[in-house]
Amino acid sequence: MGIVGAVMTPGAFLDRDGVINRALIRDGLPFPPRSIEELEILPGVADALRRLKDAGYRLVVVTNQPDVARGTVLRKTVDEINGALMARLPLDAIRTCFHDSEDRCDCRKPQPGLLVAAAKDFDIDLRSSWMVGDRWRDIAAGLAVGCRTIFIDCGYNEQQPPRADYRVKSLSEGVNIILQEST
């Protein structure tokens, strides 16, 4: 990956909905905001991301947005939400999979394609990186590439990850662990 002799940096791969911004809960399941008006950055996220950035981490959001493939949300809306997050937070990039499960792409988590591509583009060392997510798919994608993982347990009524390195209640709590582990 990257240029021979290039210094590899650690990365923090972050799911979007439920980690960076509030997920909308219906019947115990999380859903993304359907408009820019519904976008709400979670408390403590901006500060947590600044702390990671100051510690030398590349910050890449990796998000599944299958509602585009399903025709229930326009890609323009997802791009608008992502643009707002990029403008308000110290992120290096947001990588989005717009496919649904039936598309069998390599970018839809739990497949690790988004992480692999971002690692190549930003010279990220996957073994010294973290995947932070609120669903089993996020954790599986991180484990597939050798990242350490942090599961933010939001209490959703769905499958839980079979294993994660840490379980926390917020991104701020997860960032405290990452910074402790990197010293």
The set of catalytic residues is: 15, 17
Name the nearest CA neighbour of 130 among 105, 112, 110, 148: 148
Name the nearest CA neighbour of 159 among 130, 137, 132, 144: 137
Q: Return the number of other C-beta atoms located less than 10 Å from residue 125's C-beta.
A: 17
Report, in angstroms and rounded to the nearest whole number, the Rg of the chain calculated over CA atoms. 15
Give the whole-angstrom CA distance, residue 119 versus residue 11: 8
Name the nearest CA neighbour of 132 among 25, 9, 11: 11
Q: Is 145 exposed, middle or buried (0-12, 13-18, 19+ CB in 10 A)?
A: middle
Residue 160 to residues 107, 114, 148, 180, Cα–Cα distance (Å)? 21, 21, 17, 25
